[in-house]
Amino acid sequence: MSRFALITADADFEHRIRLAAASLPGALQTFQANFLPASIDDVFNQLVGEPIEVLILGPDLRSDDAFKFATAVDARHPHVSLIYAAQPTPDLALSAMRSGVRDLVIPTADSESLRSHLEQAAASATSRLAAAPPIGTIGDESEHAHGRIIAVMSPKGGVGKTTIATNIAVGLGKIAPMSVVIVDLDLQFGDVASALMLNPERTILDAASGPMDSLSLKTYLAPHPTNIYALCAPRNPADADKISPDGIAELIKHLAADFQYIIIDTSPGLGEHVLATLDQASDVVWVCGMDIPSVRGLKSGLEILNELHMLPEHRHVVLNMADRRTGITLQDVEATLGVPVDVVLPRSRSLPLSTNRGVPALQDGLRDPVVKGLRKLIDRFRPQWDNRDHKQLHRRADFQ
């Protein structure tokens, strides 16, 4: 089956491409960026699911960059059909042909016209792939097909971890619709189902003990109106003992092969299931309350995991329910932790209300200062091929 990938920050063009691809077999994965990475690996290493056949470059990408990128794709992945959205001229068409771009589409083309281009490009890719030697690029792509695994953690309970995890999932669902799954790994007392107002027929107990092929996995997931999926905790707390850490590790591995983002709402502490998650996580979001027990608990957790060499590559520290009236300052928290706080979420009356209603703040369109912080957190998980100075990744957070 065909699978498509799109790079653009043009929301209107993305919408028309989604309509065009909806009637074709295979999935569409999008990267919301108006520039291209220095290496094509930054794109291909983030692809998940079926091997890619068609790559579409949006009209907001510079032609010189697009053609340079196309040349690299054509050399490394010659079966992939590359489409560029640009107003065609004789000179542009010649440059496109020389670079390996297989087709040019008018940026204002309607979805039906775009569907025809996608269909032809997919058929062409299939033909080239069938004629390619058996030791080609598909095996290489499959090895790199791995979604971003984001573990949301806190050594202490009651700091708003589930609220933040569900909002991360909803926010990323706007970036990668139908390619986000949130997993409730608080196996005894998980609240993801209630936070999303879901009543799932099947839970993580079924998923961890059943077949884990792509088709079967989808049957365990509960769809949510925000274009995400949820894998909820068991209904009976006693069922937690039936789920092994190895089963969780295997489940996460299979989900990462089919989804662009996997958000895992862990249980408080550093139990076996949490450690099995950290062993595969690409990111960890540490949630800390603005109180001494929470800060000290997080400090201890960071020290233990550092000794075990189990800290994921990307760290994001979130100070939740921040309030100057607690007698603790942001500087006090950072000095105790020994790491900067990346995102500050101020104390909010609206956020607990949205959680109790089962409608996350980023779904509800809530107007509250805390929403700005949540969106800042979401931005940290966008495609990582920007040219920011890595020293600026952990800037000092602002707290008014």
pLDDT in tens, 198-224: 999 999 999 998 888 877 888 999 999
198 neighbors 152 (Cβ within 8 angstroms):
no
Structure tokens at 167: 């909002």
Q: Measured between alpha carbons, how far is 8 from 34 in angstroms, rounded to an integer?
A: 5
Alpha helices (H) in 132-236, listed in sequence order: 137-144, 161-175, 192-195, 204-209, 214-220
Q: Tell which residue, 128, 148, 164, has the closest CA to residue 52.
A: 128
DSSP 8-class letter at 72: H
Asked if the 4-143 domain carries CATH number 3.40.50.2300, the reply is yes
Asked if the 147-392 domain carries CATH number 3.40.50.300, the reply is yes
222 beta partners: 230
pTM, rounded to two decimals: 0.79
Backbone angles phi, psi at 24, to 5 degrees: -110, 150
Q: What is the pLDDT of residues 239-291, one digit of tens each?
A: 999 999 999 999 999 999 889 899 999 999 888 999 999 999 999 999 999 89
What's the pLDDT at 3?
Answer: 86
Structure tokens at 272: 């076996």
Q: Tell which residue, 192, 268, 260, has the closest CA to residue 231.
A: 192
What's the pLDDT at 101?
Answer: 94
Helix and strand numbers, DSSP H then E, in the chain:
17, 13
Amino acid at 146: H
Structure tokens at 293: 């027990």
Q: Tell which residue, 222, 219, 224, 151, has the closest CA to residue 185.
A: 151
Where the chain has pLDDT below 70, the residues are 1-2, 131-145, 384-400
Domain segments of the chain: what residues? 4-143, 147-392
- Fold match, 4-143 / 147-392: yes
Alpha helices (H) in 190-233, listed in sequence order: 192-195, 204-209, 214-220
